[in-house]
Amino acid sequence: MISPRILLSLCLAAFTLASCTLGEYDFVNNINKNEQKPSEKPKPPPEPEHEQDPYFVPTIRIEVEGGKAIESKEEYVRVLVSVQQTETLSYSAAGRAKGRGNATWGYDKKPYKIKFDEKISLMNFTANKDWVLLAEYCDKSLMRTAHMCGLAQTAGLPYPIHYRHVQLYLNGEYMGIYVLTDQVEKKYGRVDIEDDGFLFENDNYFWDEPLNFMTDLREYWYTFKYPDAEDGEIKHGDQNYTFITGFMNDFEAALYGDNFKDPQNGYRKYIDVQAFAKWFLVQELIANLEPNMYYVLPSRNSKLQIGPVWDAEWSLGLAHRDDEYAGWAGLPTQPDRQKAIWSQWKYFGRLFEDEYFVEAVRTEWEALKPKLPAFQTEMKAVANNISKEQVKNFERWNILGWHVSVGLICMGTWEKEVEYVEQFFADRITWLDAYLKEL
């Protein structure tokens, strides 16, 4: 017989188990509520995130050792660079700086190159030592480089150039709005290629470089970014030199030969067709009359690519030239927005004789076209970002009412310069869409 005490314990245990499993919402929760300390206060709501000022433009301050000027493209000077990247984030780093550019170095507003002692991640871009500050002196909209670089990213072109508008101070003196960009070089996050690869340029200033070569058939001049001729990584007649000159001569022979359309032995044996198609679309959309033409061979077993994009100074209706060989012309003051350029120039003139390449361009165009409205909105936001600070830039450089160098367009105000660029680009989209359908 079970004693009354044991029976009572079993009943209490059964009651407790039932309460925990069946009456969880009433019994247990009520116990928890009753046990809550009366003095406990509810947690305050989280602090709202700080909203970035849409008109905030980062500031870069370069202080040259001894207060010296930057007067040379060849000789570096020691500098301390301070960066106000956001309203709450700033930092400093030591390095060197010098001038850069070809014709642009002759303008009043100078472009510069910075080489930090250690790798630095400016504006959250991939950390590197070398950075470029473009002055955008001819481009009074200050937006042409943004269109070119942003469009290349949107099109998915290999080796995109990152960019950001900044305010520059040099030895305490305000120098205006600049565009901070990557250096075109073989580096991780930039032109990331194999050690046996090549980065070279169809260079109009080839005589200023330590090493160059000219192709046999087209007689185009090329200079080297990688391997580096200054460091002795490539020399005239060595294995690297012999390989790349032979490759380019073989490519030209195939492209301009009778069987150039042949998939195995024609030009397709040598080039990345999609990369060429994307580069064409970017440069044709912005009507870029004189870009720096960089070529990349990622490795000796790869196909030739074209990129990164560089130099938008003659784009979006700012300048005029009749063909790839003509120099700058003073007329017309309103460049033709419906003129085909790159389907006629350089290697593209021959490529467009092959329906396979034309179809590749059309395919890339159909992929890019739906992205363009969002891209145009992005460019409006970029322009809006500098809309306040541009006033100081043109107080420093009073050029809005003047024709500057190749700049045929002179709209009188920054707002009209930006409107001109945006409308030119919109018109170019409409024209290119019709043009590719008619080919």
Q: Which residues contact 152 (CB under 8 A, 6 or more apart)?
A: 160, 161, 278, 282, 307, 308, 309
* Local confidence pLDDT in tens for the 439 residues of the chain: 444 443 434 333 443 333 333 333 232 233 333 334 444 445 555 555 567 799 999 999 999 999 999 999 999 999 999 999 999 999 999 999 999 998 899 999 999 999 999 999 999 999 999 999 999 999 999 999 999 999 999 999 999 999 999 999 999 999 999 999 999 999 999 999 999 999 999 998 899 999 999 999 999 999 999 999 999 999 999 999 999 999 999 999 999 999 999 999 999 999 999 999 999 999 999 999 999 999 999 999 999 999 999 999 999 999 988 889 888 777 777 788 999 999 999 999 999 999 999 999 999 999 999 999 999 999 999 999 999 999 999 999 999 999 888 888 899 999 999 999 999 999 999 999 999 999 9
Q: What is the pLDDT of residue 407?
A: 84
C-alpha angle with apex 113: 232 to 107, nearest 5 degrees?
A: 115
| 181-203 burial code (b ≥16 CB/10 A, e <16) | bbbbebbeebbebeeebbbbbbb
List the alpha helices (DSSP H) in 36-164.
144-155
Q: What is the pLDDT of residue 322?
A: 87
List, as one string, the DSSP characters of 174-195.
Answer: EEEEEEEEE--SSSTTSS---T
Backbone angles phi, psi at 246, to 5 degrees: -65, -40
Provide the CA 203 distance to its chain's centre, in angstroms.
20
Q: Measure Cα distances from 140 to 122, 175, 322, 393 in Å.
A: 25, 15, 23, 10
Backbone angles phi, psi at 234, to 5 degrees: -145, 135
Q: Which residues contact 294 (CB under 8 A, 6 or more apart)?
A: 184, 199, 200, 201, 202, 225, 306, 307, 308, 310
Element (H, E) at 435: helix 414-438
Q: What is the pLDDT of residue 223?
A: 97
Whether residue 98 contacts residue 105, with contact meaning beta carbons closer than 8 Å, is answered with no
Element (H, E) at 16: helix 4-22
Element (H, E) at 354: none
Q: Which residues contact 44 (CB under 8 A, 6 or more apart)?
A: none
Whether residue 389 contacts residue 55, with contact meaning beta carbons closer than 8 Å, is answered with yes
List the alpha helices (DSSP H) in 183-332.
239-255, 273-285
Q: What is the pLDDT of residue 330?
A: 75
Whether residue 379 contacts residue 102, with contact meaning beta carbons closer than 8 Å, is answered with no
Beta-bridge mates of residue 82 = 61, 92
| Residue whose tokens read 């565009």 | 179
Q: What is the pLDDT of residue 50?
A: 60
Q: What is the pLDDT of residue 334?
A: 78
pTM over 0.95: no
Whether residue 286 contacts residue 256, with contact meaning beta carbons closer than 8 Å, is answered with no
| Residue whose tokens read 């003196």 | 173
As given in the structure block, the two tokens for residue 33 are 């509520």
C-alpha angle with apex 309: 227 to 194, nearest 5 degrees?
A: 30
Q: What is the pLDDT of residue 332?
A: 76
Q: Are strands 198-202 and 221-226 parallel, antiparallel or unpaired?
A: antiparallel
Rounded Cα distance, 68 and 56, in Å: 29
